[in-house]
Structure 1
């Protein structure tokens, strides 16, 4: 299989047609996220059963032919831990990948370890040991060395063989549809996350008053727009904690602003006037028009709720060990508490709990609700087993 770096637009477009004709292609990327507003795409790597190539996006600047492939329902695109690749597709083309496979997710449905690093996954599934890493490479620098290109291509070459083995195993165990559903869920989650407002990830917003929250929103929006216009990372414009602190303090003068801890820095001082303008605008908002801060994560309202969540967590961990599926992929402690509130306490507002939907419900949803209803009892069968619990229908159910 030839290895080379594509630097010609026509050759790249031809490769994309080759990938489309093959109906399945492996994809990986190298990027640098520390210096720009969005991660900077520095290299694309592809593998089919015939070709193994890298693409230099600094030379091949029109990547639309590839994003067309990712949006083609007739082409399977195989990735590992493909969150970044999904984001690139969404950001650079405005479209969602359609038929994407993530071998890291797939392995979580075949075994209990998730997420697995690429070299560990290759060793587990293919029995193949990967070569050394280029972890300190600045992928922006040109020219790339032969060693760097070889390393990058090593990350994409095994992907089709990985998925072929995984697909057969998942299909044999009746879990292929589970994997397909999980791939689609990951894409939807990332797409939804990218649409959230600039202030969404700020800490402790529920502790702010309405006017303070409005100030945090205004500052976060200014920070986002300024970072985008200057192509700088958002948090290098102004740290999250400082956005919230300024929203609380709401200084009115440059002296007050500079007195805020960690604000008296040259790269912040040049924006003092802009920050004060944000706060001035918030002070002019009528009280009746102020936004309502988000609510805190809901606390346990029933003293037994936390205990029930822990009990179900034990049951879920044992079940996942027995079924050989990753507990971290199936559900979190928050997911278990949501199920308790929904099933026992009748809190039906909002979405149906994740554990009561789709393949998760098929795997464990009925078991967990039956445990809560007293229809199933748990007991320790073999304390030396990695799944020591057994679940038995209570006599009244028989």
Structure 2
């Protein structure tokens, strides 16, 4: 019997009853549980959610482990999750998770602010020779030498009652997080890399919970330098319309319309319903449903004052030249990763190498991208920059 992580002896005696996950399905029990979480100083957290036919994730279960037991919080049965939201943003309580980017996004809808502070066991393990993206079950086996059993990730977490298998596996998903955090932290301190991992936790927390405005959605696309300012203004307004409609109706963006359709509107600029109907691939039902709104957006964008339009991004450097220079940097990344005993993807992702190369070719004063700052600057960033300037 292994206490929460059923793999590690607990520092205190634990009763058989404490070994069972506590199911939280009423507001009074949640308040008591959250008081316990705040006293513990650290909790393991995981979520089960569904996002197939909705814009926002539908939270099906929240799993929590503290120093004594595991808790399964049923958001479908509760009327007030604010006590748990307060725990998530309490700076005195460390939130330990595994591969937490999606969990942070889902939980940020509860809190309004990014949960924190956090400790991601997958990121921590990547600094200790466990691979770039070690799974929770695999890491449990490597650290504690035990099999976790089959996953229930394909389960319907919105269906009630939950099966015994779902309850067991949901509890196991958090049961080992606190022992993992203690062991990984100890090893990271020994190697002098705890601060490196903490930088990654901060970056993960920031990137996973960034609050994009609907008017910023179009910036996710490449090739924007090929459009003039008025076309960029139209693209911004069309994608902002879809983003707001998807949020209002809680539907996936593609259920409203596809990216390619909106980009075609930018190209053809239909001013009337007839113009829209004449476009290739536009169905009559689409014209009936959205035609008036979309043609109005096009007309307004065509008349918008120049000062309200986005600036056209700078044309990127020649891609062949960028490719040649990136290839020149690959051996440096590989050698550095090997000397540090780290995965190359952790040392420097391809995207950050490309960004650095393009910044150098553009003559930027400070060409290092954000991802090559911090611990990476001394470990690899300065080496890459020096090689590019030769």
Deviation at 1:123, TM superposition (A): 2.4
Q: Find the aligned partners of 1:174 and 1:27 in 2 and give their Cα distance.
A: 26
Which one of the candidate residues 157, 163, 172 is aligned to 2:190? 172
Structure 1 residue 312 corresponds to structure 2 residue 329: yes
Deviations 1:151-208 (A, max 9, x none): 2222111111221221111111000111111101111223336457232324543332
Give 3-state SS (helix, strand or coil) of 2:237's partner.
helix
Q: Which residue of 2 aligns with 1:333?
A: 350
8 Å contact from structure 2 (residues 49, 57) kept in 1: yes
* Structure 1 residues 227 and 195, CA gap change in structure 2 (3 angstroms): closer
Matched, 1:321 2:338: yes
Q: 1:355 to 1:25 in 2, by over 3 A?
A: closer
Is 1:285 aligned to residue 301 of structure 2? Answer: no
Match of 1:30 in 2: 48
Name the structure 2 match of 1:364. Answer: 380
Work out whether 1:77 is the aligned partner of 2:95.
yes
Aligned pair 1:353/2:334, yes or no?
Answer: no
Selected match of 1:64 from 66, 69, 82: 82
Could you tell me whether the CA contact under 8 Å between 2:277 and 2:287 is conserved in 1? no
TM superposition score normalised by structure 2: 0.85
The Cα RMSD (Å) is 2.7
**Contact preservation (8 Å) 2:273, 2:287:** no
For these two proteins, the number of residue pairs brought into alignment is 371
Contact 1:339 1:355 in 2 (8 A): no
* Contact 2:277–2:283 (Cα < 8 Å) also in 1: yes
Tell me the equivalent position of 2:248: 229
Distance in 2 between residues matched to 1:264 and 1:95, nearest whole Å: 41
CA distance in 1, matches of 2:337, 2:284: 51
Q: Structure 1 pair 203/138, CA: closer, same or farther in 2 (3 Å)? A: farther
Q: What is the TM-score normalised by the length of structure 1? A: 0.84
Spell out, residue by residue over 1:250-270, the C-alpha distance to the aligned partner (whole angstroms, 9 max, x if none).
223434424444431746742
Residues 1:143 and 2:161 are matched in the alignment: yes
Change (3 A) 1:107 1:258: farther
Distance of 2:359 and 2:223 partners within structure 1:
26
Unpaired segments of 5 or more residues in structure 1? 375-398
Q: Does 1:249 align with 2:268?
A: yes
Distance 1:215 1:368, change over 3 A: closer
Question: Structure 1 residues 222 and 49 mapped into 2: Cα distance closer, same or farther (>3 Å)?
Answer: same
Change in CA separation of 1:71 and 1:262 when aligned onto 2, cut-off 3 Å: same
* C-alpha distance in 1 between matches for 2:361 and 2:288: 54
TM alignment of 1:1-398, pairs within 5 A: 1-111=19-129, 113-192=131-210, 194-195=212-213, 197-202=216-221, 204-264=223-283, 266=285, 269-286=288-305, 289-296=308-315, 298-300=316-318, 303=321, 306-339=323-356, 347-349=364-366, 352-354=368-370, 357-369=373-385
Assess if the C-alpha contact under 8 Å between 1:203 and 1:244 holds in 2: no
- Unaligned residue ranges in structure 2 (runs of 5+): 1-18
What secondary structure is seen at the aligned counterpart in 2 of 1:325?
coil
| CA–CA distance in structure 1, aligned partners of residues 224 and 363 of structure 2 | 28
CA distance in 2, matches of 1:286, 1:342: 31
> Which range moves more in the overlay, 12-21 or 103-112?
103-112
CA-CA distance at 1:104 after TM superposition: 1.1
Residues 265, 111 of structure 1: alpha-carbon distance in 2 compared, 3 angstrom cutoff: farther
